[in-house]
Chain A
Amino acid sequence: MEQSEHSETKQQEQTSNLHGPELMHALQERRRERSTFRRALYMLRRNYLGVAGIAILSIVIIMAIFAPLVAPHDPSIGSIMDRLQCPVGTSCPVYGAEGETFTGTTEHLLGTDQLGRDILSRIIYGARISLIVGLTAVAAGAGVGVTLGLISAYYGGWMDSLVMRVGEVFLAFPFLLLAIALMAVLGVGLLNVIMVLAIANWILYARIMRGTVLSAKAEEYITAARAIGARDLSVLFKHLLPNCITPIIIFATFNVAAMIIAEAGLSFLGLGAGTGWGLMLADGRDYVGTAWWLATIPGLAIMLTVLSINLIGDWIRDALDPRLRNLG
């Protein structure tokens, strides 16, 4: 309570330094932020799927952060004696022993892979790769795309033409094809995957931003800001960016899910980060007839994580701007 009063006073102090259109704009902005946040929370109370999404994603994030504490085994070390053990509660033939059956134990809750490594531990550590790639690829792609979209829409002219023509060439490639072609040249690795996904993706952010800024820059508050002598940088990043960011936030949320699938897809083809859920799935494909859990479990992990992000995306979109449903 005390803290919130303190922040209110601080905000009031900040606004008291403003005058004219800037003050009006800041007040409108604050009112809008408060009401948007309240609306989002209010909608979440009625949105069970949104709550489920947040719950699932929280588990995945906690798993990723505390992997060394949560994982029961070392994900990279396995015993060949323990290879291809099925998950607890299921039974399977013993590998290399005709007619013998093995029943899954609590030692390896989700079973073991072809090298005897614990699948649960690999899933827990794999969450790190998916989340790191998903979040950083989106941050990088959005950072570049939003900046270029903002600048090209604001200044127009040759800069706008250049960004959009280059973007059209990027859009001429199906997303995965461009990512695969770039990975083929750059080679596998976590940093390369992030870079490649960001390169293949920036134009989508640039186009969304450009479209929003083009209609926003004719608004009165922008004219007012320019009239009182605000510099271009200030207009761009203090006025236009905050007012045009909503479609970007919504698209970026869904895009994290898409990037997680893309990273897993690249890993599946042997062109990814070199570890993670996609690679587990690719390894499991060779055993699909004998050890179903190898491919099934990492796929479920990807699906649940992606589903949770999509559910959160739906909730954020409905809360921020339901008219933008095509962005999902």
Chain B
Amino acid sequence: MGRYILRRSIHAVFVILGVITAVFVITNLTGDPVELMLGEQASQADIERVRAELGMDRPLYIQYVNFLADAVRGDFQDSLRFQGGAMEVVLSRFPRTLMLAGVALAISVVLSITLGTIAAVKRHSPIDNVVMFLALLGQSIPNFWLGIMLILIFAVNLGLTPSQGYAPSPIHFVLPAITLAAPGLARLTRLTRSGMLDVLSEDYVRSARAKGLQEQTIVIRHALKNASIPLVTVIGLDFGILLGGAIITEQIFQWNGVGQLLVEAIHARDFPVIQAAVFIIALSFVVINLLVDILYTWLDPRVRLE
């Protein structure tokens, strides 16, 4: 297991180096990031000056090596809008995004496993049909629209929740977390149901029934435990989708996390912050998938042996 973890970790390091390279390539995609940064009204003299200040007048491969060396140390130069380094600005907002994504993930996992299991156990019943239709609907609703509708109903009309803004109180998390959780919840419910249906037809479930075990014990201890193993990978991938989705959700609810910061930085052409934000989100995605892979080998020893 130790060797597997080491191999996966080395692999993750290479992926992270690839991510840094991709951020560099994306930034240099249109030729001159300085022109993009300063806008069309900037004079040629200003462009030249900033280019020299940022070291962008050097050959591209030297820029790349410098960028790589700085990025590994977490240095993405100073933000053009805020005081201080771009990475510091991003990291100061990151806990909010992480908390929102974490709460959304918890909602999505708990509800989807419950609903998916019920739907599988009560296959072809009205409950199953309703759950599956809601899941299909959930997959089809754009979460930015869902967020606005939730604001309209629960904040504007019923006045039960705040319509926007971040505060470390549970009530502020309700609408953004539900908005962010919805697409993953729908997908995970469908996957849980299909996974449970596969497992429920296995021989060991039949043996458990033949032994006279209670249905509840069979479903929870025998079927769900085995059906949940493949879900772990999906949940890891979902966390990435949540981090991506947080960009839009934070915009709707003025959450002031990394997602909102990124969109504001794009509109303000604050390239160091864009690079730092893209890097930190991608980095957390890679790290979480690494942890999920390690967890998976612990849950399912067959993976290690392959």
Contacts and interface: CB of A to CB of B under 8 A. Distances in A.
Chains A and B bind each other: yes
Interface of A: 165-166, 168-170, 172-177, 180-186, 257, 261, 264-265, 268-271, 278, 281, 284-285, 288-289, 292, 295-296, 298-299, 302-303, 306-307, 310-311, 314, 325-326, 328
B278 A285 contact: no
B24 to A, nearest CB: 12
**Across chains A and B, which 10 residue pairs bring their CB atoms closest together, nearest first?**
A174-B244, A299-B145, A169-B18, A176-B244, A307-B140, A184-B266, A306-B140, A174-B240, A295-B148, A177-B244
Given A173-B285, A176-B241, A289-B156, 13 more contacts: A169-B21, A172-B285, A174-B243, A174-B245, A175-B241, A181-B23, A182-B26, A185-B29, A289-B152, A292-B152, A295-B149, A307-B136, A328-B190
Given A186-B29, A269-B248, A177 B243 contact: yes
A288 B156 contact: yes
Interface residues of B, number: 49
A180 B247 contact: yes
Interface in B126-162: 136-137, 139-142, 144-145, 148-149, 151-152, 156
A166 B156 CA distance: 47
Residue of B14, B36, B142, B241 with most chain A CB atoms under a 10 A cut-off = B142
Contacts, number: 137
B142 A173 contact: no
B262 to A, nearest CB: 7
B144 A268 contact: yes
Contacts of A166: 18
B177 interface: no
B278 A177 contact: yes
Contact of B30 (A186, A264, A265, A269): A186
B247 A284 contact: no
Interface string B29-50: 1100100100000000000000
B107 interface: no
A177 B145 contact: no
B274 interface: yes
B interface: dominant SS: helix
B22 A169 contact: yes
B282 interface: yes
Nearest to A169: B18
Contact of B251 (A182, A269, A303): A269
A185 B269 CA distance: 9
B149 A296 contact: yes
A24 to B, nearest CB: 34
Interface in B231-271: 240-241, 243-245, 247-248, 251-252, 262-263, 266-267
Interface string B207-233: 000000000000000000000000000
B245 A176 contact: yes
A288 B140 contact: no
Contacts of A271: 263, 266
Nearest to B240: A174
Contacts of A165: 14, 18
Contacts of A303: 137, 140-142, 145
B100 to A, nearest CB: 14
B148 A175 contact: no
Nearest to A182: B26
A326 B191 contact: yes
B194 interface: yes
B246 to A, nearest CB: 9
Contacts of A181: 23, 26, 274, 278
A192 to B, nearest CB: 11
B263 to A, nearest CB: 5
Contacts of B27: 185
B281 interface: yes
B145 A180 contact: no
Contact of B142 (A182, A261, A284): A261
Contacts of B240: 174
A174 B245 CA distance: 9
Nearest to A328: B190
Nearest to B183: A261
A26 to B, nearest CB: 35
A268 B30 CA distance: 24
Nearest to B234: A326
B191 A307 contact: no
Nearest to B20: A169
Contacts of A185: 26-27, 29-30, 33, 36
A325 B286 CA distance: 26
A298 B141 CA distance: 12
A282 to B, nearest CB: 8
B79 to A, nearest CB: 15
